[in-house]
Amino acid sequence: MKILVVEDDHETASYLKASLSGAEHFVDCAPDGSSGWRMASSGEYDLLVVDRMLPHTDGISLIRNLRAEGKRMPVLMLSALGEADYRVEGLDAGADDYLGKPFAVNELKARVGALARRPPLAEARTRWSVADLHMDLISREVMRGPHVIELQPREFRLLEYLMMQAGKVVTRSMLLEHVWEFHFDPQTSIVETHISRLRGKIDRGYDVPLLHTIRGSGYCLRAPG
């Protein structure tokens, strides 16, 4: 697996490279956000490890730029800012996991391994439809009827998973695992907040709602009828 570490502290970058390098991993390093963005955009990297606080282009902007380009490789964000609001901001920008500093090397390797094993969403299909709601995974375009709906990267992944499971009840735990790659409850309102934002974008102003809350169970995206 080819990994790109974007870290401006030379000692930390060397430590990360030494910790992750081995028979199964080849590791490159970038010293700032701008060069990290260029390398990730042009190189065939399987996974990124990105520090949040970077010179030139910060980690949040770097991830958002890559997601806007359609780059979907897993991203593990590292930061000394471990509070819930900072974690939510990082995940909302398009990071797949968030690890606070300082961290144990075993946990770092476990997080990287979990991201590497994650199957890509909707690998075989490039389009999904539920009633008049349509998603194109190639163009990254979502439309309801004739209207284009603008989604943030995490909202896009959330809708993608809901469309894959259309007609079925999806629990909060399922969303945390498949959309955020959390195998634990982060004890935040991250799911509820994103569901509310997504509902506002795909249902508000339309006569027929598609995204439903199933009280005590979870959520369901379904066509009327």
Predicted local confidence at residue 23, as pLDDT? 63
Domains of the chain (ranges, CATH numbers):
2-117 (3.40.50.2300), 127-221 (1.10.10.10)
**Structural contact between residues 4 and 16, judged by C-beta atoms closer than 8 angstroms:** no
Which range, of 36-50, 71-85, 157-171, 205-219, averages the lowest pLDDT? 71-85
Q: What percent of the chain has pLDDT over 90?
A: 68
pLDDT of residue 172: 94
Average pLDDT over residues 94-120: 88
Four-residue CA torsion sign, 46, 85, 89, 94: positive
| Alpha-carbon gap, residue 103 to 219, rounded angstroms | 34
Tell me: pLDDT of 67 over 90: no
Nearest residue to 194 (alpha-carbon basis) of 61, 99, 88, 77: 88
Mean of per-residue pLDDT scores for the chain: 90
Sequential DSSP letters for 5-28: EE-S-HHHHHHHHHHH-SSS-EEE
